[in-house]
Amino acid sequence: MNLVEQPIQLPGQTGFYQGKVRDVYYIGDRHIVMVASNRISAFDVVLPKPIPYKGQVLNQIAAHFLRLTSSLVPNWLLETPAPMVSVGFKAEPVPVEMVVRGYLSGHAWRQYHAGHRELCGVALPDGLRASDPFPEPIITPTTKAKEGHDQDISRIEIMEGGVVCADVYRQMESYSLSLFAAGSRMAANRGLILVDTKYEFGLVDGRVILMDEVHTPDSSRFFIAEGYLERQESGTPQEQLSKEFLRQWLIANGFQGRPGEAVPEMSDAWVEEIGHRYRSLYERITGRDFVRAPNSDFVEENFTQTMKCLNGMGYV
C-alpha–C-alpha distance, residues 173 and 176, integer Å: 5
* Nearest of 130, 140, 136 to residue 228 by alpha carbon: 130
What CATH number corresponds to the domain at position 185?
Answer: 3.30.470.20
Does residue 67 carry a pLDDT above 60? yes
Other CB atoms within 10 A of residue 50 CB: 19
The average pLDDT across 152-175 equals 95
Over residues 202-226, the mean pLDDT reads: 93
CA–CA dist 305, 301 (Å, integer): 6
Residues 247-257: what's their mean pLDDT? 92
pLDDT, residue 2, reads: 47
Q: Percentage of residues in the chain with pLDDT exceeding 90?
A: 75
Residue 137, pLDDT score = 98
Element (H, E) at 22: strand 22-27
Q: What is the pLDDT of residue 240?
A: 82
Q: Who's near 145: CB < 8 A, 6+ residues apart?
A: 44, 151
Q: Where are the beta strands (DSSP E) in 62-158?
A: 77-82, 85-89, 92-103, 118-119, 122-123, 133-139, 142-143, 151-152
Interstrand relation of 133-139 and 122-123 (parallel, antiparallel or unpaired) = unpaired
More confident residue, 128 or 44: 128
pLDDT score of 51 more than 80: yes
CB 188 within 8 A of CB 78: no
- Quote the domain boundaries for residue 222: 92-247
The least confident of 125-134, 183-192, 301-310 is 301-310
Question: Does residue 170 surpass a pLDDT of 50?
Answer: yes
How many domains does the chain contain in total? Answer: 1
pLDDT category at 299 given cuts 50, 70, 90 is low
CA dihedral 149, 153, 157, 158 (to 10 degrees): 80
Q: Is residue 289 in some structural domain?
A: no
Instruction: Specify the pTM.
Output: 0.87
Mean of pLDDT values over 190-201: 96
Whether residue 26 has pLDDT greater than 80: yes
Residue 151 lies in a domain: yes
Please state the rounded mean pLDDT for residues 182-195: 96
> What sign does the CA torsion over 123, 127, 130, 135 have?
negative
Confidence of residue 1 (pLDDT cuts 50, 70, 90): very low
